Amino acid sequence: ETEIKLANNTNKKIRGMALPRTCINLSRLTSTSDKICMRLSSFASTQTAKEKWDLLSAVCLERKPVIARNLLPIEKEVLSMAQKMEYRLSLKSDHEIQLEKDRERQERIKQGDADDSDMDQASLNSAQDFEDASVEELSKFPFADRITEADKEKDQKSLDRMLDRHLLLVVRQKLGTSSVWILPQGQRQEGETMRQAAERVLAESFDGKVQSRFLGNAPCGFYKYKYPKHIREQDGNSIGAKVFFFKAHVTSDSPLKKGSCIEDFAWLGRDELDSYLPEKYRKSVTEFLIDED
C-alpha cells in the first residue's frame, strides 16, 4: 500500500487520510480492476507530487570528557561515610602492625625495659618514616591541573577547555546570503551514502586530516528547513533541505586548522550553544546530544 505523502511543510496539523478507511469506502463502489487502476494512479500522482528536498549530511563531532566531574555534596558525604565503615570492618594491615610494634618498642626504650633486640630494631628505618616519606612523595607529585590555561583564557578553538564536559564542534558557514553558526553540513553527492557525505564534509571543512571515529552508518538526528520563497519558486529547485546528522568522536587533541569551506569554528560546551545556534536548530540538535546537568 502506498502512503499518500502529504505536504507537511505547513504549520497546520493535517490529519493524514486514514488510508485503510478510504480503501474500504472505495472498495464498495468499484470493482477490482478499477481499484487496481486507482491504486496505480495514486502511486503515480504521489511520485509527481513528491517534493524535491536536498539531502544534506551534517557532522556532530564531539570531544568526550577527559576528566571526571567534581563530586556533588551528597556524593562526598556518602564517600566519607563509606570510607569510615570500611575502616571499621577492616583488619589491620602489615604496615599498621609494624607501626604498633614500633610504638611499643619506643615505650619500652623510654621506660628503660629495652633489650638488645629492641635496640637493633630501633636503628632500622621505622614504619612511620616510610609512611611520612610516601606522603611527602605524593604531595610533591606534579599532577596536571583540572582547570587548564585554555579554560582561563576561554579559548574556544582549543580542545583543552572544559575537560570534564563534552565539547561540540560548531562552524560558521555561508547558507545562501547569510552566515550562520551550525554543525558542519554539506550536500550529498551522487554515489555517496549519507555517512560518506558526512565524512567528506568534515574533511573539506578543515585542513589536514581530522582524527575522528564515526559511530555507525545510521544518522542520529534530523532537521529540515525550507529555502526562501524566491529560490523555492524557481523551476528545478528544491523546496528545502533535509539534514541528517552523524555522530563522531574526535580522537586527537591537536588543534584544527580551518579550511576553505567554512568561515570560522568553535568547540562549545552545552551552555554556550544557546548564543551560537539558531533556536529551532538548537532544539533539534539537543535531541541527539547526551544531557549534561
Partner 1 sequence: ENMIGIRRFIQPLLGFHTSAVQCAEPMKKKKKMDPSIIRHREQRKMKRIERSIRKLERVERPLKPLDETQIPLSLKYEIPIRQRQLQPISQDIELSQRELLVAWSHHKQKEAERDLACIRKLLDAQGKALKELKLESEELYIEATQLDLSLLPYKAVGPTRTPQIKGYDPPDGDYIDVSRKWE
Give the residues lining the site for partner 1 (CB under 8 A).
5, 53, 55, 64-68, 72, 74, 77-78, 81, 85, 88, 90-92, 97, 142-146, 148, 163-164, 193-195, 214-222, 224, 242, 244-245, 287-288, 290-291
For residues 220 and 273, which CB has a smaller minimum distance to partner 1 in the complex? 220
Task: Give the nearest distance from C-beta 280 to partner 1 in angstroms.
Answer: 15
3-state secondary structure 209-260: CCCEEECCCCCCEEEEEECCHHHHCCCCCCCEEEEEEEEEEECCCCCCEECC
For residues 40 and 81, which CB has a smaller minimum distance to partner 1 in the complex? 81
**Buried (b) or exposed (e) across 69-99, using 16+ Cβ within 10 A?**
eeeeeeeeeeeeeeeeeeeeeeeeeeeeebb
Distance CA 161, CA 180 (A): 23
* Closest of 255, 256, 160 to residue 204, by C-alpha: 256
Task: Give the nearest distance from C-beta 144 to partner 1 in angstroms.
Answer: 5
For residues 263 and 287, which CB has a smaller minimum distance to partner 1 in the complex? 287
For residues 216 and 278, which CB has a smaller minimum distance to partner 1 in the complex? 216
C-alpha cell recorded at residue 290: 547526551
Task: Give the nearest distance from C-beta 204 to partner 1 in angstroms.
Answer: 20
Task: Give the nearest distance from C-beta 131 to partner 1 in angstroms.
Answer: 18
